[in-house]
Amino acid sequence: MSAARLLLVNYHYLRDPSAAPFPGIHPMALDAFGAQVGDLAGRFHVATPDEAERFLLGNGALPRDSVLFTFDDGLREQGVAARDVLDGRDIKALFFVTSRPLTERRPLMVHKVHWLRAHSEPRQFTAELESQLPPEWAADRMDTASRERALEQYIYDSPADAILKYRLNFVLPHDVVDRATATMLRTRGIDERVFCSDLYLDREELRALVANGHAVGAHGHSHAPMSGLGPGLDADVKRNVDCLTALLGTRPRWLSYPYGRNWAIPRDARALCARHGFSLAVTLFVGWNLAGEDPALIKRINPNEVASFAGAA
């Protein structure tokens, strides 16, 4: 018999895909989520966060190949999914929560971009964003090599979308896009505090998740890519940890790196975890985990990758 393995599956938006007028968000409908959970729970052991932690650290075994469900960004619809899908099956999951929406009532840059793209004609969004950027970050300053890299990186997108995504992820500084998108929301008469109340789990809802046996992990304060925070990285993580500890009465033991890809992971990932008391940190490097993985680089897949890694036999 081969050793048991653990697959982490991560979810973001769980809502009706046809709800927004334009693409920009790639959500999973709650029904589809329920079906995927049912399918995986039927074929694998569903680990609790504590069981997964012991297994990954080499302190405990899993009965057979197992899955752990995780959720990034602390969205309100994830609380609904927990209540309507997970709690009835007695599944305990792991929710990674950023603190800026809780303490500053400011939404994350990535969600402002998603919302604006989902509610704007594509060319209008790009033109409006470009018009808000300081001149040193203008699109026509992008060199040919960067354009080529953008097209290589996003092979499933149109060239215009590929360049936009590349600029958002790799070229434009997080705070520059953060400011530009805040202005774009304001221009549409949207109050960032109301946006936060609509989108994110509030303090009571987070406490209720923990009371129901789910675990909450850290996901950064600002949700800026940790690789790009420089000397501000520790302060960003500490604000997140302090907020969650004060709110929930216990220090988070798991961290999820915002964006989760190689380009976004801090160089000293292991040392960062040690400094802030995390026993495990999760990425979006795909694949199954074995006992004894690098605890600072735990693998995790998206729902659309389940068929490749855990397809029905």
Q: Rule CB under 5 A: which residues touch Zn ion?
A: 72-73, 258
Q: For Zn ion, give the closer residue by CB, 11 or 55.
A: 11
Residue with the closest Cβ to Zn ion? Answer: 72
Residue with tokens 């029905």: 312
CB of 186 to Zn ion, least distance (A): 23
Euclidean distance between CA atoms 219 and 226, whole angstroms: 10
Shortest spacing between CB 258 and Zn ion, in angstroms: 5
**Rounded least distance, CB 72 to Zn ion, Å:** 4
The least CB distance from residue 100 to Zn ion, in Å, is: 12
Closer CB to Zn ion, residue 101 or residue 258? Answer: 258
- Which of 44, 200 has the CB closer to Zn ion? 200
Tokens 């704007």: give the residue.
Answer: 120
Minimum CB distance to Zn ion smaller for 66 or for 256: 256
Helix (H) or strand (E) holding 241: helix 233-248
For tokens 């990535």, what's the residue? 110
Please answer whether residues 285 and 277 qualify as being in contact, where contact means their C-beta atoms are separated by less than 8 angstroms: no
d(CA 41, CA 45): 6
At its nearest, how many Å lie between Zn ion and the CB of residue 95? 11
**Quick check: 222 and 233 in contact, CB under 8 A?**
no
Provide, rounded to whole angstroms, the least separation between the CB of residue 98 and Zn ion: 7
Please identify, using beta-carbon distances, which residue of 27 and 258 lies nearer to Zn ion: 258
Angle at 34 between CA 29 and CA 40, to 5 degrees: 125
Among 298, 107, 109, 127, which Cα is nearest to 217's?
A: 298
3: exposed, middle or buried (C-beta count within 10 Å: 0-12, 13-18, 19+)? exposed
- Cα of 11 vs its chain's centroid, Å: 8
Amino acid found at 2: S
Q: In this structure, are residues 79 and 93 in contact, taking their beta carbons and an 8 Å threshold?
A: no
- Least Å from the CB of residue 63 to Zn ion: 31
Which lies closer to Zn ion via its Cβ, residue 34 or residue 74? 74
- Which residue matches tokens 């504590």? 50
Measured from the CB atom, is 120 or 256 closer to Zn ion?
256
